[in-house]
Amino acid sequence: MAGLQDIRRRIDSTKKTSQITSAMYMVSSSKLTQIQKHTSTYLDYANHVEAIVAHLSQAHLFEQNNRSDIPFLTQRPIKTTAILVITSDRGLVGGYNNQVLKTTDQFMSDHDLTADNTLIFAVGGKGADYYNKKGFKIAFENRDITDVPKFWEVSDLVREITKQYAAEKFDALELIFNHFANRLSNRVTHESILPIKADNFRKDDQGNLLNDKYQNTVHSYDFEPEPEVLLKSVLPQFAQSLLYGAILDAKTAEHSASANAMQTATDNAKDLISSLNLKYNRARQAAITTEITEITGGMAALQ
């Protein structure tokens, strides 16, 4: 009977775990729906800003004259590289964090980046803790951002990145995060953010700018105010839109990964409960058979 009690306790414990993971799945799914609504509206703005900057690049405004007075366009010898790593603060998200950290480590290995020539900007505690333990300098970290991040929550990070780049604390900014592909899968994405170059814009297989509603239009510009003033105004907005958009994208992928992990855990718990129920019934049947055999044997001995 002790064996039956142990199995029953395991069944009850697994049922409670299944209830918890099922509730966590519902919470993550709700968060995913909320952030998708917010992200879709923001992407319209971000895509429009990118299209404007890309059109300025196509007009060869980036290359005209000397752009050394515009920090976001200044291309200097790369002595120090900054990497913005976006992870989660907590676990229970499947391989979400491991994929980002593995890709970041591989990028560092491929480009001979070490703690001496690399700065880490971290969104999420997992990435910050990981690289802090490895001896990297954490230039800035942002933890505990909300489930649907607002721009003001990451504005300090964006401001610090742009300020340190302008002050030549680093010479290039790389961004590594999980891109939300759909509710079932995410994809680790690596983008070069700074300095801004014409070949950094996202294009399709035909070379057209992604999400550009005006790609079939011939562009001609008259500038008011002067191009330098225009670039100094537009380029910071472009950099900010890229960084904030990536954080939104990564947070969407995080909720998706959490929902998938909890759904998998719930399904596994149900499979385990089914297996334990079968084991319990077999053990109970065996115990009953043994009791009947003992009773029958006792009756035969009395006759």
Average pLDDT score over residue span 165-185: 89
Residue 1 clears pLDDT 60, i.e. is over it: no
pLDDT digits (tens, 9 = 90+) for 133-145: 999 999 999 998 8
pLDDT of residue 139: 92
- To the nearest whole percent, how much of the chain has pLDDT over 70? 83
* Fold for the domain defined by 2-15+263-302: Helix Hairpins (1.10.287)
Alpha-carbon gap, residue 44 to 60, rounded angstroms: 25
Give, in order, the Cα–Cα distances in Å from 146 to each of 43, 93, 124, 152, 266: 19, 16, 11, 11, 25
pLDDT: is 61 or 86 the higher one?
86
Q: Select, from the ranges 13-17, 64-68, 70-74, 237-241, the one with the highest average predicted confidence (pLDDT).
A: 13-17
Classify each residue of 206-238 as buried b or exposed e, where b means 16 or more C-beta atoms within 10 Å of its C-beta: eeebeebeebeeeeeeeeeeebbebbbeebbeb
Average pLDDT score over residue span 52-77: 67
pLDDT digits (tens, 9 = 90+) for 17-40: 999 999 999 999 999 998 988 887
Alpha-carbon gap, residue 115 to 213, rounded angstroms: 43
* Number of Cβ within a 10 Å radius of residue 11: 18
Residue 132 clears pLDDT 70, i.e. is over it: yes
Residue 71 clears pLDDT 60, i.e. is over it: yes
Residue 243 clears pLDDT 50, i.e. is over it: yes
- Which residues have C-beta within 8 Å of that of residue 253, sequence separation ≥ 6? 96, 177, 178, 179, 180, 186
pLDDT digits (tens, 9 = 90+) for 43-54: 777 777 777 777
pLDDT of residue 66: 46
pLDDT: is 77 or 298 the higher one?
77
User: What does pLDDT average to over the chain?
Assistant: 83
Q: What's phi and psi for 134, nearest 5 deg?
A: -85, 0
pLDDT of residue 303: 64
The beta-strand segments (E) located in 57-143 are: 81-86, 118-123, 137-142
* Number of Cβ within a 10 Å radius of residue 271: 11
Q: State which CATH number among 3.40.1190.20, 3.40.1380.10, 3.30.1490.20, 3.40.50.2300 fits the domain covering 26-260.
A: 3.40.1380.10
The helix-helix angle for 96-110 and 125-133 (nearest 10°) equals 40
Average pLDDT score over residue span 83-110: 93
Q: Where are the domains of the chain?
A: 2-15+263-302, 26-260
